[in-house]
Structure 1
C-alpha cells in the first residue's frame, strides 16, 4: 500500500512539473500589449517572401496570431482563425497574419500543409517579435483597428471563438 502512495505521489509531482506551451502567462492573459494600446513597431517576413510591418497595417483591421504548432490550444485556435481568414480573404480592409514563436520555417510549413491551412504566416525561430507583444503564453490573438489600436486580446483561457473574432473585426471595420 505504501508503494502505491509513493507511486501516486511521484506521478502527481511529475504532472505538476510538466512544461506547458500555454499556461506560462498571467491569469488574465493580458500582460504586455493590452486593449487600447497601439500595436508595437515590428516587421516580419511572411512565408511567401512578403515583408509586412506595423505601418502596413495602418488603415486596415488586423488580426495577429502568435502560436506554436505543438501547442494544443494553438492547434484548436488555428482552425478558428483559418475560418476567419476564409471569411475575409477577399476584403482588402482586413489583414490576418499568423506569427510563430520559436519555430522553424520547415516545422510551420509542414504543419500548414498537413492541416490544410492557407493563412499567411511568418515563421520566427526566436522570440524577438513575440516579446514586443507579450512576455509569455500562446496562443495570443490581437485584433486591431485601422488606427493600429488594439481592440481585443485573446489568450488560451478561453481561446477565441470564430463568433468573437468576427464580431471584433466587424466592429473595427465601422
Structure 2
C-alpha cells in the first residue's frame, strides 16, 4: 500500500515538474515578433499569387491597403468575398489595393474557390503561414486597414457583415 502511494506521488511530481519546465521553455523561446497594433507599421512581406506573380506589401506605399486573411473552409470568409470584390471594383482606381491572403491551402482548392466566386483581386498564398504568424492572425477572417504610409489604421476581427462596413473601411484608408 505504501509503495503504491509512493509511486503515485512520484508520478504526480514528475508531471508537475515537466509542466513547469515546459512553461519556462515556452516563455523563453517564444517569438520576438513585434506586437501588431493599430498605429504601428505593418510588417512587410513578399508572397506570390496563384499565377506566380510576387507581391510585396511595401510596394503599395502611397496607397491604402485592405489586407484580408481567409480560408476556403471558413463560412464567414466566403460570405465576405462578394463585398471585397465589390470594393476592389469600386476603389482600385482610387488608390486602394485589396490584397487577400489565403492561409496556405492547396492551389487547386483556392483556384476553384476564386472561379466559383468570380474574384478578380489579388489572392496571395501563404503556403508556410509565415505572414499569418507575423500578423498574429487568429481567428479567421481578419482584415487589416493599412494607410498610404504603411501604418495599421484598424484591425477588423471577424466577418465583414455588409457592403456599408467595407465601404467605410475603404474610405478610412483612401489616400
TM-score higher than 0.5: yes
In structure 1, the residue matched to 2:172 is 171
Deviations 1:50-104 (A, max 9, x none): 211122121110011100011011111212111111112333x111111101312
3-state SS of 1:148 partner: coil
TM-score by length of 1: 0.74
* Structure 1 residues 92-149: Cα deviation after superposition (integer angstroms, max 9, x where no partner): x111111101312111111110122221101222311111111421101111110111
Q: 1:148 and 2:150 equivalent?
A: yes
Aligned partner of 2:105 in structure 1 is 103
Aligned length: 141
4+ long deviations beyond 6 Å: none
2: distance between equivalents of 1:52 and 1:74? Answer: 21
Deviation sequence 1:17-41 (CA, Å, 0-9, x none): xxxxxxxxxxxxxxx5232121102
Q: Give, in angstroms, the shift of residue 154 of structure 1.
A: 1.1
Q: Who is 2:39 aligned against?
A: 36
Identify the residue that residue 127 of structure 2 maps to in structure 1. 125
Unaligned runs of 5+ in 2: 1-34
Q: Distance in 2 between matches of 1:166 and 1:87?
A: 9
Which one has a larger percent helix, Structure 1 or Structure 2? 2
**Distance 1:123-1:36 versus aligned 2 partners, 3 A rule:** same
In the alignment, structure 1 residue 159 sits paired with structure 2 residue 160: yes
TM-score (norm 2): 0.73
Question: Contact conserved, 1:104 with 1:124, CA < 8 A, in 2?
Answer: no
Give distance in 2, aligned partners of 1:70 and 1:133.
20
**Structure with greater Cα Rg:** 2
- Tell me, which stretches of 5 or more residues in structure 1 are unaligned? 1-31
CA contact (8 A) 1:101 1:130 kept: yes
Q: Distance in 1 between matches of 2:78 and 2:137?
A: 20
- Which is further off, 93-102 or 45-54? 45-54
Report the 3-state secondary structure (helix = DSSP H, G, I; strand = E; otherwise coil) of the residue aligned with 1:49. coil
Identify which of 48, 71, 74 aligns with 1:68.
71
